[in-house]
Every structure is written in structure tokens, then in C-alpha cells.
């Protein structure tokens, strides 16, 4: 029996990160012992290389605006572990978490689950008898992800690009096949933009399963997109939408959430006022997604951690702030495409400060070759470097902290 919240968190983090097999047998067995809580409420399942967390948050805002209690299971967390399990944007409480962990331990074989399997069980069990619908974000991939034991009312693929290729690659086609595992028989599928290299894979899978598809630029469209002064405007079903952001992909993510909300309500014959809920789509925000923590000079935190996300982010900043130099603080993981990311950053920003984190996955100095760059500094103490950068930053410069949610998490609490 664990006696405190801190003991519960330490227990969770002591579990193995992965098991050698990618089968779902262990989590299915554990959920069976817990009474299969994931089958007691409707769900929406969300995967994608980028944009998952944003879409989940928009969806939660939409359901809340429609007076529906909505659970949200996401990862990673930015400030505290409890962020991963929320109802109507309220995090699970410390005592609730402790009770939940002890309850699960009492019913399953200790250490039989990986950390993510255990946390997934926590989320599924916490939502039982508390929510009208739960939004479940995939951890990695989809087909073999531990969340893929649900039968969702709507499935979502936000985007497909290169990431986690060591686990679900190595090619983008392999990644698409893995993410297509989220598609379920006779269940609507909502997707973002699908490039030609993967589109056929997704659409053929949906066709075989008789799943209607709402694909961006096909069954899902937006009109009159405008981006100005960190605000995005567009029309969805001829209704105006306004959200914070600078990237077209942010507008696409909002449209994905809106279409998913509509699909869910209509599938279940539920009433909704689309104009009313659209007004609340950006009501509650999540940290580390184009988070402006200082305006003059401009300091932005963004957890973009793969090449596709960083490419979108930098090019959008350049487009929106063409006369400003971008200074970047970047930390990468060993299993990410950090060499390609560094090539991109050094070519498209004024100065890059590369740092590391105190964790095994984090890339260290020896994991890079800096010999080809003349605008890169490696720094050990990113807090000290942050002070120095900000002290010398002027209004014609932007400081962007990116590359890792873990780095952004630490610095977000610093700015807060």
C-alpha cells in the first residue's frame, strides 16, 4: 500500500518504459481484471505525428461548451503528471491519483505492466461513471499502441510524418500502416492533410472497414484562412472561427476537432449549437504550443520535437515576423532526427544554442557534429544561457525554445 502522492508517482515511474513485445495482451488482461472500464463510456481516439494534443484540447473545449462532461487522456505532461488525466480541464487530484494507483495495484500482478500501460489503465478507470465522452490520445503509432483497446465513436489521424521511425518505421509508409490501426469498422475517420506517399494506405484501409472519411481538402474544408498578429481566422461550414496561432496546421487542427465533434454528435443523435461551441474552441489553452511567455522582447515556447513540426513552426514565424531574427534554444533526443533538425535550424535562424537534459534519452555534446556550423553554441547550463540571451534580446529578435517538451516544461515553470 502506497501512502502518499509522491510514492504513487515514484511507483509509476519505476515501471519499465517498454516491454519487448508490442502485443496488447498484458493491458487487455489488466483491464479485464479492472472490469473493462474503457467500454463503459463513448470514446474518441486520436493519433498523428503532430497536432494530437492540440486537437484533443480543442475537442475538450467544444464538448464543454456543449455542456458535456469530457475526459481527456494525453501525454506528455508539461508541469505535473496529473495533467495527463483530466475531466473538463480539471486534472485528477493528488488523493484521487493515490487511491487509483493503490486500487489498480491491488487487482493486477505487480510490475506486469509498462509505465504507459499502467497510466492508460489509470485514465480508463478514472473516467468510469464520470464522463459523457472521453478523448484518448495515442502514445506512439496506433495499431500496437496500448490505448488501442477501445472501440471509438470517431477515429482521428491529425498528420503523418517521420517520427519514432525506430519503433514504427523505418519508412513513412510503415508509419502510415501503423497509424491506420486506429481505423475501426463502420466508424468515421477524420484526418488532416495526407500527402500522396501515404494517402492511398489510409484510404484503402478505411474503405475495407467501411469507415466514412472526412479528409482535409476533401470531405473536410475550411475557407478564407487569414493569419495576422498571432491570430488565425477561417470559416468552417460558413461560420467564423478565431484561434491563437501562426501556422496553417493550427487551423487544420481546429477544423479536425470541429469535424470530429460534429461527427460524434450526429452519430449519437445529440443536439448541439455549432455557432455556440465554435466561440469556445480556444477557451482553454495548453502550454508549450506557441506559448508566448514574454512579448517585448518576444519569447516563445513550443514543444515541436520532430523535423515536420519544427519546419512548420520556423517557416510560420518567418512569414509572420519577416523582419525579425530568430534565436533558437534547442534540445533533442537521441532517437529523433536531430541532425536534420540542426541543419534546418542553422540554415533558417540567426543563432542556435544547443543544450541537453538530465535524462538518458537526451542527446549530449558527443552526439552532435558541430564542425559544419558557424552559428551554433553548445551550452550546459540553459538557465544561465537563458538569462544572458534575454538580457541582450532586442525588439527585432525572437527567442524560440523548442525541440523537446521536457526542456519547454522546465522553462515554462521558470517563466510562470
Based on the domain organization, do 124 and 42 belong to the same domain?
A: yes
pLDDT of residue 167: 66
pLDDT of residue 121: 97
Distance between CA atoms of 305 and 389, rounded to whole angstroms?
22
Look at residues 278, 308, 328 and tell me which one is the last residue of a structural domain.
Answer: 278
pLDDT in tens, 365-393: 999 999 989 999 999 998 999 889 989 99
Based on the domain organization, do 388 and 343 belong to the same domain?
A: yes
**Neighbour tally for 228: CB within 10 Å:** 9
Based on the domain organization, do 216 and 256 belong to the same domain?
A: yes
- DSSP structure string for 103-168: HHHHHS-TT-S-HHHHHHHHHHHHHTTT-SEEEEE-SSSSTTSTTTT---SEEEE----S-SHHHH
Beta bridge partners of 125: none
pTM across the whole model = 0.91
Closest listed residue to residue 146, CA positions, set 27, 45, 32, 12: 27
Based on the domain organization, do 214 and 312 belong to the same domain?
A: no
Grouping H, G, I as helix, E, B as strand and the rest as coil, residue 72 is strand
C-alpha cell at 29: 488482461
pLDDT of residue 333: 87
Based on the domain organization, do 269 and 410 belong to the same domain?
A: no
Based on the domain organization, do 97 and 204 belong to the same domain?
A: yes
Across 338-352, average pLDDT = 94
Q: Is the pLDDT of residue 123 over 90?
A: yes
Based on the domain organization, do 253 and 312 belong to the same domain?
A: no
Task: Categorize the per-residue pLDDT at 21 as very low, low, confident or very high, splitting at 50, 70 and 90.
Answer: low
pLDDT of residue 36: 98
Q: Which residues, 6+ apart, have CB-to-CB distance to 147 below 8 Å? A: 45, 73, 120, 136, 137, 138, 139
Domain span at residue 352 reads: 291-415
Task: Categorize the per-residue pLDDT at 169 as very low, low, confident or very high, splitting at 50, 70 and 90.
Answer: low
Q: Which of 26-30, 109-113, 122-126 has the lowest average pLDDT?
A: 109-113
pLDDT of residue 164: 59
C-alpha cell at 141: 503509432
Q: State what percent of residues in the chain have pLDDT above 90.
A: 77
Amino acid at each position: 500500500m502506497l501512502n502518499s502522492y509522491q510514492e504513487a508517482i515514484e511507483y509509476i515511474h519505476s515501471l519499465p518504459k517498454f516491454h519487448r513485445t508490442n502485443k496488447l495482451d498484458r493491458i487487455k488482461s489488466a483491464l479485464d481484471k479492472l472490469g473493462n472500464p474503457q467500454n463503459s463510456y463513448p470514446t474518441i481516439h486520436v493519433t498523428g505525428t503532430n497536432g494530437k494534443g492540440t486537437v484533443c484540447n480543442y475537442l475538450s473545449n467544444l464538448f464543454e461548451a456543449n455542456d458535456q462532461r469530457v475526459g481527456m487522456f494525453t501525454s506528455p505532461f508539461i508541469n505535473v503528471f496529473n495533467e495527463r488525466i483530466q475531466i473538463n480541464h480539471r486534472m485528477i487530484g493528488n488523493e484521487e491519483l493515490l487511491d487509483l494507483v493503490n486500487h489498480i495495484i491491488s487487482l493486477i500482478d505487480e510490475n506486469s505492466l509498462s509505465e504507459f500501460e499502467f497510466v492508460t489503465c489509470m485514465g480508463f478507470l478514472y473516467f468510469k461513471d464520470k464522463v459523457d465522452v472521453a478523448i484518448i490520445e495515442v502514445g506512439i503509432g496506433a495499431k500496437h499502441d496500448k490505448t488501442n483497446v477501445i472501440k471509438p465513436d470517431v477515429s482521428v489521424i491529425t498528420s503523418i510524418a517521420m517520427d519514432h521511425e525506430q519503433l514504427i518505421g523505418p519508412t513513412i509508409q510503415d508509419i502510415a500502416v501503423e497509424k491506420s490501426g486506429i481505423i475501426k469498422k463502420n466508424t468515421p475517420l477524420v484526418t488532416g492533410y495526407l500527402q500522396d506517399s501515404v494517402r492511398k494506405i489510409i484510404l484503402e484501409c478505411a474503405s475495407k472497414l467501411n469507415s466514412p472519411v472526412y479528409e482535409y481538402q476533401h470531405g473536410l474544408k475550411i475557407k478564407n484562412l487569414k493569419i495576422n498578429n498571432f491570430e488565425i481566422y477561417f470559416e468552417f461550414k460558413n461560420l467564423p472561427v478565431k484561434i491563437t496561432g501562426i501556422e496553417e496546421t493550427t487551423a487544420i487542427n481546429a477544423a479536425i476537432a470541429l469535424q470530429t465533434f460534429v461527427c460524434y454528435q450526429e452519430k449519437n443523435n445529440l443536439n448541439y449549437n455549432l455557432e455556440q461551441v465554435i466561440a469556445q474552441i480556444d477557451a482553454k489553452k495548453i502550454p508549450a504550443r506557441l506559448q508566448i511567455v514574454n512579448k517585448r522582447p518576444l519569447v516563445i515556447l513550443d514543444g515541436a520535437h520532430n523535423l515536420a513540426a519544427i519546419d512548420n513552426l520556423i517557416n510560420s514565424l518567418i512569414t509572420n515576423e519577416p523582419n525579425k531574427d530568430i534565436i533558437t534554444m534547442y534540445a533533442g533526443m537521441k532517437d529523433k532526427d536531430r541532425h536534420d533538425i540542426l541543419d534546418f535550424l542553422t540554415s533558417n535562424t540567426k543563432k542556435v544554442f544547443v543544450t541537453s537534459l538530465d535524462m538518458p534519452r537526451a542527446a549530449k555534446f558527443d552526439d552532435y557534429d558541430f564542425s559544419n556550423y558557424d552559428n551554433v553554441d553548445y551550452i550546459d547550463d540553459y538557465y544561465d544561457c537563458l538569462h544572458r540571451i534575454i538580457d541582450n534580446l532586442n525588439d527585432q529578435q525572437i527567442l524560440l525554445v523548442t525541440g523537446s517538451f521536457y526542456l519547454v516544461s522546465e522553462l515554462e515553470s521558470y517563466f510562470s
